[in-house]
Structure formats: structure tokens, C-alpha cells
Amino acid sequence: MKKSFLIISIFLFAVCALGQKKYELGNVTIDELKEKAHPNDTTAVAAILFKKGKTYFDLDFLNWTITTEVELKIKIYKKEGYVFADQQIQYYSGGNQVEVDYDNVATYNLVGDKIEKTKLKKDGKFTEEVNGSYSNKKITLPKVKEGSIIEYKYTIKTPNFITFDDWYFQYPIPANHVEYLVAMPDFFSYNTYIKGNLNIDKTIPDIPARKGKSFSEKRRLYSVDNVKAFKAEAYVNNIENYIPTLQMVLASANISEGVVKSYSTDWASVAKNIYDAESFGGEIKSTSYFQKDLDLLLQNVTSNDMKVNMIFNYVQAKMNWDRTNGYFSHVGVSKAYAEKVGNVAEINLMLIAMLRYAGIETNPVLVSTRSNGIALFPNPSAYNYVIAAVELVNDQLLLLDATTKSAVPNILPVEALNWKGRMIRKDGTSIEVDLMPKMSSKEITNVMASIETDGKIIGKTRQQYYDYNGYVFREHFLTLPKDKYLEEIEKMYKGIEIEEYSTANDIDLSKPLIENYNFTHNNIVENIGSKAYFSPMLYYARTENPFKDEEREFPIDFNYPHHDKHFFTISIPDGYEIESLPAPIALSMEENIGSFKYNISQAGRQIQLTTVFEINYSNVSPEFYGTIRDFYKKMIEKQNEKVVLKKV
């Protein structure tokens, strides 16, 4: 019995050791190199065999340093997976120095029946300066081909202990094993947040403490196995909002003779700390640099509405955005005003200061842009943008952003439409603000066309863009050279040729932007024998449903509610008569999510069609995904139904 127990113990120890070795760099097997496709996802171009990370603290003469070490082992299945051979880490290289380095970088290939290991040479690792504050540390792995396994380790050392870098548990490729170990001194207390739907295993690891430490530490191990790749889906504002991620932010620190310092424990304290900063609240109080100009501008103006519009238009026209975000001023509002250029904070804090000077109750609103992600938990880096809010009667707010030349009051840049912001009042109190538009932005299209006997369609189009539709058009298309924009239209509507293109109300933001053009199209009408077939929606008929998957985990983001109306008048060619028309239809979704109406009729030798498509919400819960997918399917089918003409 003792002998059997000994054998079992040795066996279990060997299995345990083998399991640990499986997740170590340098342990590459022939079977792994021979694997042609991922067993759980044959479409994968590559897979993470394992990703291990650990973060720990060191103390040196009362200075704390946080070190994060990450080890990765990746299998390349297809040529499209070669992109994983190029890796980079962006880091802050100004002020307090952050150290970044790669180590143990190698590529493994199967040559005959032997494993060939190729290490990274010196010229495969380099540093690239992004700007005065940020740099990229890059590597390019050698000899990568289909079937290769690549592995590397990187280390990041930073003096910043306020927030940790986010740790992701899901990626664009499958991941067989992901783990992250955090070891923190008892001096520090962090708020921990895990977003996403993965079931992350959280344990206290049974591992020996690091040697040479002068403090005790708490340790947590987060791990997950067999993670499928995440897929990019249509109408998602930022996929990273939904990727399973561990986020940590400092709540308090006890590092000075028992004195506990509190940090970001709730949204109210985060907002107040930002407001109290000289480069935020201090800039709002500064008025001397603009007083003479504003007094002259507002001379004899008594209406508050006029004051708001005049000040907004003044700042918008005078200032030029340097394309950088942030809620803190970089150079100061006075210098930005004199030089007529500034970041988001300098322009919009200046706007707030002027409105307050004019007696308008105005407050800053902290915003997290779409690319920055949704602000999920209290911390200063949750925000990266600031706008102005004028408080109206009945607790209504007028939201203002003067950074772009195309915006008007209550029309924000689409990048700033990211769920909720936080408005801070003069006394430091703050409230949550809904940033998402409620009004429906219209687009009205009129098309008059005639079909020639050879099937060519000749016509005129007039489109009117209101509110957000007008803003988006002005911001994108009017910044392009005319020939470049026409190229975009012709790519969008394949087969169209455009002439005599013009726009109106480009600068007058109080009116809808209008575009007019003549067109010809050779690929809409299909002639078969004595009959001709075409969609009466011409080149505006959608051909593909953007909602393809059976299920969806993420909200559907339409940016803003919209109302699209199309009028078509189509003359049929001589020698033909109308044999049949598609039937009218009215589709609607539950909870008033949206609708589609299609009314068609014949008037002599003309076909008249009116379509109205409405989406009534900016965001829709994924629980209605089936409804939306089915709605789009039926709408697209109707848009592609054919008018049938026959020769007489």
C-alpha cells in the first residue's frame, strides 16, 4: 500500500509539473508545431497558447515602482496571422521615466522532424518616438511562416501606482489560457473591476513570497481557459467596452507613518478633485484676457439666448482645435486665446468662463469619448474630454462644444456621444448627464429619373441633411476635395456617374446642408427577353444585412435617432408598359424602436415611390437584436423587389 501511494504521489507530482511547464516560455513541442488549425476555431489565423502576466511592487528609498511582466506564446496558422509577428508597446516617456523592454523573443519552426529556434537579433528591437511625451517599443519576430510558434516576454516598470494598465482576457484570436497575478503591499487598497461576460476564476495563489521584500503583500490570481475570439460587429460604439477586462484603481494608501490618503473612491470626489485643479477650475475663473472683447461683443445684448449663441459662435470662429483631447489645459486659456489655438479643455473651459461672465448659468461636463471607452468606475482617467452645459428652466441642459466648425448648440461631435457625462457645479457637487441625442435627425432625398430603352438611367438627385446628418456631412465630406468626395460616392453606389455636383448651406449651420447632382447609371436595369426588371429604389436599395450573427452580446449603437425619407419619380421608356409593381408595406419594431414604410403607385408612365425609414433610439439593448435583425432582413428584401416592365 505504501508503495502504491508513493507511485501515485510521484505520478501526481509529474502531472502537476508538466502542467506548470506547459505555460513556460521555451517549452515548444513538435505536436504544437504540426497543428494546422485551432481545435475550437478552424477559421482562426492565429491563437494565443498562453498569456501570463504578473504585477508586483518594489520599494527603494521610499520610492515605489510597479513592475509588470508578461509572457506570450502564439501559434500562427495562416498568413493573415503574420501581423502578430509585429508587436509594440506605447508608453509615457516624458516626466517620470517608464521603462519598457522585451526579452526571450524567439520563433520556432519545424524543419524536417526537428525544432528550429530563431532568436531575435538586435536590429529587430527598436524604439520609436511618437511625440514629446510618448514612445513605442517595437519588435519584429524573425522567420515567421504558417505553422510557426512565436513567444516573447515584455517588462514595464513605472512609478505610477494610481491605476494599473488594463488586463484583457479576450482577444481577436482564440486564447487557450490567460492568467494574471497581482501582488500588492498591504499599504495600498485598490478598487477592482472586471467587465465582460467571461467567468474569470479568482484565487489566492499558493506560491512562496518574493525574497528581499521589507513588506507583506496580498496576492490574487485571475485566470480563464479556452476563450473564443471576439468578433467585431456592426453598430458597436467601441468593442473594448465589452471585452472582458480587469481594471484597478487606487482607493487609498497608507505610506506615511499611519496616515491614510484617499484617492478615487466615488464619482463625486473624482469630479471635485478635477474641478479644484488650477488647470481646470482655475482656468474657468480666469476672465481678464477676454473681458474687453466680450464687453464689445455683447454691447446692447440683453437676451440670454442671444448671448449664448453669440458667445458660442465667437469662440467657435476664433479658436482652432489642435486635435488633442483632455480636460486639463496644457498651455493655459489665456495663451490659447491669444494664439487662437488650443486643446479641447482650453476651448471649452474658455467658453464656460465667457458664458459665466455674461451671467449665464454654465458648468463643465466631463466626458469619456467613444474611443476612450465607457466610464465604468470612479477614476480620473475615465474621462478625457470636457464640454459646456447651460442650465435652462425645468432642469433642461443645452450642451455646447466649440471645438469644431460644424457644431451648433445641442449638436456634439459624434465622438463625444458616449452614454453619460458628469456635470460639475461651482460648489463642487456633480450630477450625471445623459449625452445621447433624443431628437431625430432627418435626411430627405428626392430623385427624378428616366429609363432609356437600352436600360440606362438618367436622373437628378437632391438631398437635404438636417441636424446630426448635416453635422456629419460637413465634418467629413466638406473637408475632402470635391473630386475625392465624388470618388467616394461612386464607390458607394457602384456604376453611378455624377455630373454638375453642387452643395448649398455649407457654412450656414442654421439651415440643412443640400447637395444636388445629375447622374447616369448603367447597372440597375436587367433586361431579360421582352422584359425589364429593376428596384424602384435604384442605387439606394440596401443589398446586405449588417446584422448577420444569430445572437449578439453587445448593445446596438445607431449614434443618434434618424428619419430618412426618399421620394422617387421614375419615367419608363417608350415601347414598355408596367406589368407589375412591388406591394406596399409597413414594418415596425416593438417598443417603437423603428419602422419602415414603402408606398408605391403608378401615375401614367411614371412610377412614384415614397419610403420612410426611422430609428428612434441612439442605443438599443441586445435583447432586441432578433427583432432588429428580422426587421432589416424584411426591409432589405422589400427594397430589392423589382418593378417588371414588358415590351408592347
pLDDT given at position 20: 55
- Of these ranges, 163-172, 332-341, 421-430, the one predicted with the greatest mean pLDDT is 332-341
Task: Grade residue 10 by pLDDT with cuts at 50, 70 and 90.
Answer: very low
E-assigned strand segments in 242-295: 245-256, 259-262
Mean pLDDT (the chain, rounded): 92
Q: What is the pLDDT of residues 606-648, one digit of tens each?
A: 999 999 999 999 999 999 999 999 999 999 999 999 999 999 9
Question: Do 613 and 598 contact (CB within 8 A), yes or no?
Answer: no
Look at residue 558 and tell me whether its pLDDT is greater than 70: yes
pLDDT given at position 17: 45
pLDDT given at position 264: 63
Q: For residue 122, what are the CA distances in angstroms to 72, 74, 125?
A: 20, 21, 6
Q: What is the dihedral of CA 474, 478, 484, 485, to 10 degrees?
A: 40
Nearest Cα to Cα of residue 193 among 431, 421, 378, 418: 378
Task: Grade residue 393 by pLDDT with cuts at 50, 70 and 90.
Answer: confident
Burial 215-224 (b: 16+ CB within 10 A, else e): eebebbbbbb
Neighbour tally for 570: CB within 10 Å = 21
Strand partners, 183: 56, 219
User: 502 burial class (0-12, 13-18, 19+ CB within 10 angstroms)?
Assistant: exposed
Nearest Cα to Cα of residue 68 among 199, 175, 158, 190: 158
Look at residue 578 and tell me whether its pLDDT is greater than 50: yes
- Three-state secondary-structure class, residue 194: strand
Helix (H) or strand (E) holding 397: strand 397-400
Strands 513-521 and 594-603: unpaired
Q: For residue 34, what are the CA distances in angstroms to 31, 76, 147?
A: 5, 11, 7
Question: Do 177 and 50 contact (CB within 8 A), yes or no?
Answer: yes
Q: What is the pLDDT of residues 72-115, one digit of tens each?
A: 999 999 999 999 999 999 888 876 688 999 999 999 999 999 99
Helix (H) or strand (E) holding 503: strand 496-504
Neighbour tally for 443: CB within 10 Å = 20
Which domains does the chain carry? 2-258 (2.60.40.3140), 267-434 (3.10.620.30), 441-647 (2.60.120.1130)
Nearest Cα to Cα of residue 209 among 183, 240, 180: 183
pLDDT given at position 31: 96
Q: What is the pLDDT of residues 252-295, one digit of tens each?
A: 888 666 688 877 678 888 899 899 999 999 999 999 999 999 99
pLDDT given at position 124: 86
Task: Grade residue 62 by pLDDT with cuts at 50, 70 and 90.
Answer: confident
Global pTM reads 0.85
Q: For residue 477, what are the CA distances in angstroms to 149, 332, 482, 495, 506?
A: 45, 32, 8, 20, 11
pLDDT given at position 15: 42
Q: What is the pLDDT of residues 126-169, one digit of tens each?
A: 898 887 778 899 999 999 999 999 999 999 999 988 878 899 99
Q: How far apart are CA 635 and CA 585, in angstroms?
A: 9
Cell of 387: 464640454
Greater pLDDT, 362 or 550: 362
Helix (H) or strand (E) holding 336: helix 333-339
Identity of residue 152: Y
pLDDT given at position 376: 79
pLDDT > 90: percent of the chain: 75
**Concatenated DSSP letters for 78-119?**
SGGGGGGGEEEEEEE-SSS--EEEEEEEEEEEEETTEEEEEE
Question: Do 384 and 373 contact (CB within 8 A), yes or no?
Answer: no
Strand partners, 254: 260
344-357 and 304-318 helices, crossing angle to 10°: 150
pLDDT given at position 206: 82
Helix, strand, coil shares, percent, the chain, to 5: 25, 40, 35
Q: Residue 230: phi, psi to the nearest 5?
A: -85, 145
pLDDT given at position 257: 67
pLDDT given at position 137: 93
Over residues 29-48, the mean pLDDT reads 97
Look at residue 535 and tell me whether its pLDDT is greater than 70: yes
Cell of 233: 460587429
Nearest Cα to Cα of residue 248 among 143, 346, 167: 167
Over residues 311-322, the mean pLDDT reads 98
Strands 594-603 and 496-504: unpaired
Q: What is the pLDDT of residues 183-241, one digit of tens each?
A: 999 889 888 899 888 999 999 998 777 777 778 889 999 999 999 999 888 999 988 89
